[in-house]
A and B are shown apart, each in its own frame.
Chain A
């Protein structure tokens, strides 16, 4: 099956710093989503981005489907950005099932 790799696995930042999270996938996909899981376990939708670039406030994302990767940018990080970030893909030929990467734990210190 498709492999979804996220990097880095963990990241510690000072408040105000910028960061880039990467998601590589091994095969063609219909869809790609980025999620933030807060400390209570809730998965928050960040981006639905099968291709192209989107921005939402301090966050932006870019997916280059032909090269099978996606990037999530966090600028001017805040302590509330802490948590686990997941990339998930729906492989082509699948049934709208999401395959998740292992996640990236972000800690933003004040």
Chain B
């Protein structure tokens, strides 16, 4: 398994500002994933982040709005830019089991409220 931490755990931000969310894993992993969960909804994949390459974004998500960094094999950041109330969500990062099993583990999430 993997132990994942996220910072901040929650935040309240004003519209038009940006927030960077950090995700730290306790072991080296190839792929990290960022998901969004809007209130009362399921999880939707935003992008996949591989170390040393550009993140791959899913349909409906763009780099200008959700820039991602992946500087090494244990860390990634997701920035939510120019926020609006519609960005109020839980943002979660996940990784695959570093032992090679394709089981994904999730961080505790960042609960974002935009006013």
A52 CB-CB contact with B under 8 Å: no
Within 8 Å by CB of B104, from A33, A40, A101, A103, lies: A33
Task: Decide if the interface of chain A is mainly helix, strand, loop or mixed.
Answer: strand
Contact B106 A96 (CB under 8 A): no
Contact A43 B31 (CB under 8 A): no
Contact A95 B42 (CB under 8 A): no
Task: Decide if the interface of chain B is mainly helix, strand, loop or mixed.
Answer: strand
Contact code string A64-106 (vs B, CB < 8 Å = 1, else 0): 0000000000000000000000101010000111111111000
Contact code string B95-109 (vs A, CB < 8 Å = 1, else 0): 010000111111011
Within 8 Å by CB of B102, from A30, A41, A99, lies: A30
Within 8 Å by CB of B108, from A42, A45, A86, A98, lies: A42
B92 CB-CB contact with A under 8 Å: yes
Contact code string A45-59 (vs B, CB < 8 Å = 1, else 0): 100100000000000
> Which B81-115 residues have C-beta < 8 A from chain A?
90, 92, 94, 96, 101-106, 108-109, 111
Interface size on B, as a range, is: 20 to 34
The interface residues of chain A lying within 8 Å CB-to-CB of B45 are: 97-99
B3 CB-CB contact with A under 8 Å: no
Contact B109 A97 (CB under 8 A): no
Interface residues of A (CB under 8 A from B): 30-31, 33, 35, 40-43, 45, 48, 86, 88, 90, 95-103
